């Protein structure tokens, strides 16, 4: 166990992060019972779902009863767009964030003052897990805005007492100049952007040794151990994986510690389960499956058994860092067809609906995701036929631009649209293959 | 009114040959062709053939994106300044065209100049008003 004396904390909230399993379960039980009471009486959707399986709030007496509860999915959030899942009046909601949804409608989440304080707390814990302390200068290169990345890390950093550089995403040369001039010690961004920073740094003739970077906290997209080694050697820092999703809170749901052996889940707020995505039954302890979260302290938009669609496993062994918080492995995939491209959630159905809007016939298309020079690229191949065919070059070019703009404004990421001849996109007997992901993660 | 066949083609090995093999199979003769390439990896092939309706149908059957497009052919002298003289008249008729191409019919004597007529209203009337008579369809198709 690493002890926390003096000014610099090695563990932010030792009482919680190092609690015994019994203590944690007691806390989770108490909070779950309270959450179920609250949502049952304030959200008709939850009440109906519980009634459908014959449950009343009194049936949930401890964390052992968690698996009796019905699931919540992204569809529930979408069907109740924008504020239907909020359990408090709008006057209590002090901020909203949103992420992309499956049909162009974003998934909206609302935070009360207390939620924001809780979020700052879990992000602060995460920063400390990553090895940051109050003397650090933290450059937040996640996007600020509806995306939870920027503001989430921002308030956690202030709560820690470290210095925030709220630069947001992009503007790569300026990012590097500020690292030099301000002496940035901690950088937070997506892992692919970290590699891009390293590349631009090299082009600018700046060696990482000239900088003071010590820790990188990277998340919002899947990355591999190989990528970690590459980032660590190119930027000369310790690369830490952070996990989160806006529905649950944002970044800070879980984070790696110095031992980089799985991400510690802030399970006093977000209770994890692993289920088999087919049978929907909990898997045996330690087995791989779909990650499900129940929020037990959130006020704005509490979620019962929210299916993340991320595939992983839980590790209950004690960690070398001394924390007892359960760890989750890096996510190895998804139980749906969502892609994460440059940190943005992309569903193939979003592309399909854009194409369908422009054509009466079913479009034949193929998405190709690649990683070129450390950045994800999205290529869309569309067969030129029916409404998508013209014998005039300028009309075809205008069509290509129209598809490009529509998709870019729907997804918020750039796309290279390629027009191809009819019947050149492979048809398979069953479901058409719509996505080729060439990224080696 | 005469027609050309326009086909969407990707710039890849063997793609043009897919078109010519369909024409060969159906014994369709090519009178003229032009291939326009774009920077985006595809282009449009314009074909003047002996029977454009049948050619277009056969190419579509073979799974290609093809369509018919109205054209007008004008006769000119195959001598220096021949095209210049013709264009002066076309301009005086107030006809503005986008795509065009030519073909020598009798070397040193006669050539045809083809212009894209799809977007131009009353093109025949306009040309006739300045003394230009579009070439008969049979002569264009070479049948």
Name the residue ranges covered by the structural domains of chain B.
2-69, 71-136
On whether any CB of chain B is under 8 Å from the CB of A421, the answer is yes
Across A119-135, b (16+ Cβ under 10 Å) vs e yields bbbbbbbbbbbbbbbee
For the stretch A366-387, pLDDT in tens is: 999 998 877 889 999 998 887 7
3-state secondary structure (DSSP) of residue A33: helix
CB-CB under 8 Å, B15 with A421: yes
Q: Is B124's pLDDT higher than 80?
A: yes
Q: What is the pLDDT of residues A27-51, one digit of tens each?
A: 999 999 999 999 999 999 999 999 9
Residue B72 CB partners (closer than 8 Å, separation 6+) = B2, B114, B115, B117, B123, B124, B127, B134
Q: B43 in contact with A at a CB cutoff of 8 Å?
A: yes
C-alpha A145 chain-centroid distance: 15
- Range 95-134 of B in CB contact (< 8 A) with A: none
Query: How would CATH label the architecture of B71-136?
Result: 2-Layer Sandwich (3.30)
The mean pLDDT of A286-301, rounded to a whole number, is 96
Which residue out of A379, A388, A393 would a mutagenesis test of the B interface target, given it has the greatest number of B Cβ atoms within 10 Å?
A: A393
CA neighbor of A340 nearest in space, from A274, A413, A408: A413
- Asked if pLDDT for residue A1 goes beyond 50, the answer is no
Q: Assign A250 a pLDDT band (cuts: 50, 70, 90).
A: very high
Residue A357's pLDDT is 81
Q: What is the pLDDT of residue A362?
A: 65
Indicate the residue of A389, A400, A423 with minimum beta-carbon distance to B63: A423
Domain ranges of chain A: 14-336, 340-437
Cβ contact B41–A421 (<8 Å): no
At the fourth CATH level, the homologous superfamily of domain B2-69 is VC0802-like (3.30.2130.10)
A315-340 average pLDDT score: 91
Q: Tell me the average pLDDT of chain A.
A: 91
pLDDT band, residue A254 (cuts 50/70/90)? very high
* CATH class of residue range A14-336: alpha beta
pLDDT, tens only, A56-107: 999 999 999 999 999 999 989 988 999 999 999 999 999 999 986 545 678 8
Residue A424 confidence (pLDDT): 82
B67 touches chain A (CB under 8 A): yes
| Closest Cα in chain A to B59 | A422
pLDDT at A429 over 70: no
Cα torsion A245, A247, A249, A251 to 10°: value is 10
Q: What is the pLDDT of residues A187-212, one digit of tens each?
A: 999 988 898 899 899 999 999 999 99
The percent of residues in chain A predicted with pLDDT above 70, rounded, is: 95
Mean pLDDT of A413-424: 88
**Complex prediction ipTM:** 0.71
Reported as a single tens digit per residue, the pLDDT across B43-97 is 999 999 989 999 999 999 998 999 998 999 999 999 999 999 999 999 999 998 8
* Mean pLDDT comparison of A106-110, A265-269, A399-403, B123-127, highest-scoring range: A265-269
**Stretch A111-119: mean pLDDT, rounded?**
98
Looking at residue B1, its pLDDT comes to 78
Would you say A255 and A263 are in contact if contact means Cβ atoms under 8 Å apart? yes
Nearest to A381 by CA among A395, A396, A365: A365
Question: pLDDT at position A441, please?
Answer: 62
Residue B65 and residue A421: Cβ atoms within 8 Å? yes
Q: What DSSP assignment string belongs to A313-361?
A: -EE-SPPTTS--S-EEPPP-EESSS-EEETTEEE-HHHHHHHHHHT-SS
Nearest to B64 among A418, A419, A422 (CB): A422
Is a pLDDT exceeding 70 seen at residue A288? yes
Domain range A340-437, CATH architecture: 2-Layer Sandwich (3.30)
Residues of A in contact with B63 (CB under 8 A): 422-423
State how far residue A424 is from chain B, nearest Cα, in angstroms.
10
Q: Do residues A182 and A229 touch, judged by C-beta distance below 8 A? A: no
* Pairwise CB contact (< 8 Å): B44 & A392: yes
pLDDT for residue A5: 47
Q: Which range in A6-15, A298-307, B133-142 is most confidently predicted, on average pLDDT?
A: A298-307
> For the stretch B52-61, what's the b/e string if a residue is b when 16 or more beta carbons lie within 10 angstroms of its beta carbon?
beebbebbbe
Do A391 and B42 lie within an 8 Å CB cutoff?
Answer: no
Output the pLDDT for position A428.
57
Q: What is the pLDDT of residues A389-405, one digit of tens each?
A: 888 888 888 889 999 99
Q: For an interface test with A, give the residue of B3, B4, B5, B8 to mutate (most A CBs within 10 A).
A: B8
């Amino acid at each position: 166990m690493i002890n926390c004396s003096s000014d610099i904390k090695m563990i932010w909230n030792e009482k919680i992060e190092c609690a015994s399993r019994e203590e944690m379960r007691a806390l989770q039980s108490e909070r779950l019972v309270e959450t179920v009471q609250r949502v049952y009486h304030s959200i008709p959707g939850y009440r109906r779902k519980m009634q459908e399986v014959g449950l009343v709030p009194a049936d949930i007496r401890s964390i052992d009863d968690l698996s009796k509860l019905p699931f919540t999915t992204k569809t529930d959030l979408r069907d109740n767009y924008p504020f239907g899942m909020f359990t408090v009046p709008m006057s209590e909601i002090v901020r909203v964030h949103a992420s992309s949804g499956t049909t162009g409608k974003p998934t909206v989440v609302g935070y009360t003052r207390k939620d924001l304080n809780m979020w700052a707390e879990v992000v602060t814990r995460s920063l400390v897990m990553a090895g940051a302390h109050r003397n650090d200068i933290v450059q937040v290169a996640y996007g600020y805005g509806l995306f939870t990345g920027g503001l989430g890390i921002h308030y956690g950093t202030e709560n820690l007492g470290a210095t925030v550089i709220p630069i947001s995403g992009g503007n790569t040369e300026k990012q590097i100049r500020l690292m030099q001039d301000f002496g940035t010690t901690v950088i937070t961004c997506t892992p692919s952007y970290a590699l891009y920073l390293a590349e631009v740094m090299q082009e600018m003739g700046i060696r990482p040794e000239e900088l003071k970077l010590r820790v990188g906290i990277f998340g919002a997209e899947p990355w591999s151990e190989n990528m970690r080694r590459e980032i660590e050697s190119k930027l000369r820092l310790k690369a830490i994986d952070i996990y989160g999703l806006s529905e649950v809170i944002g970044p800070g749901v879980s984070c790696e510690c110095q031992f980089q052996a799985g991400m510690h889940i802030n399970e006093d707020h977000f209770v994890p389960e692993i289920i088999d995505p087919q049978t929907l039954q909990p898997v045996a302890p330690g087995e791989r499956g779909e990650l499900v979260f129940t929020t037990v302290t959130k006020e704005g938009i509490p979620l019962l058994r929210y299916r993340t669609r991320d595939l992983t496993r839980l590790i209950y062994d004690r960690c070398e860092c001394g924390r007892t918080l359960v760890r989750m492995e890096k996510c190895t995939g998804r139980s749906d067809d969502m892609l994460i491209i440059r940190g943005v959630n992309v569903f193939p159905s979003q592309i399909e609906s854009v194409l369908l809007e422009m054509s009466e016939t079913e479009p034949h298309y193929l998405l190709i995701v690649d990683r070129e020079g450390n950045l994800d690229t999205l290529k869309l191949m569309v067969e030129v036929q029916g409404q998508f065919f013209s014998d005039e070059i300028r009309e075809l070019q205008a069509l290509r631009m129209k598809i490009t703009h529509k998709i870019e404004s729907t997804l918020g990421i750039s796309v290279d649209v390629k027009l191809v001849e009819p019947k050149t996109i492979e048809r398979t007997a069953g479901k058409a293959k719509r996505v080729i992901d060439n990224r080696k993660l | 009114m005469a027609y050309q066949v326009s086909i969407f083609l990707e710039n890849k090995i063997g793609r043009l040959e897919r078109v010519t093999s369909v024409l060969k199979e159906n014994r369709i003769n090519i009178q003229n062709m032009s291939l326009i390439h774009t920077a985006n990896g595809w282009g449009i092939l314009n074909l003047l053939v002996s029977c454009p309706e049948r050619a277009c149908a056969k190419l579509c059957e073979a799974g290609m994106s093809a369509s018919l497009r109205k054209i007008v052919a004008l006769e000119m002298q195959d001598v220096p300044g021949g095209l210049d003289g013709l264009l002066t008249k076309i301009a005086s008729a107030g006809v503005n065209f986008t795509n065009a191409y030519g073909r020598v019919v009798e070397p040193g004597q006669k050539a045809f100049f083809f212009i894209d007529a799809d977007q131009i209203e009353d093109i025949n009337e306009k040309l006739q008003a300045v003394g230009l008579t579009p070439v008969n369809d049979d002569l264009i198709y070479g049948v």
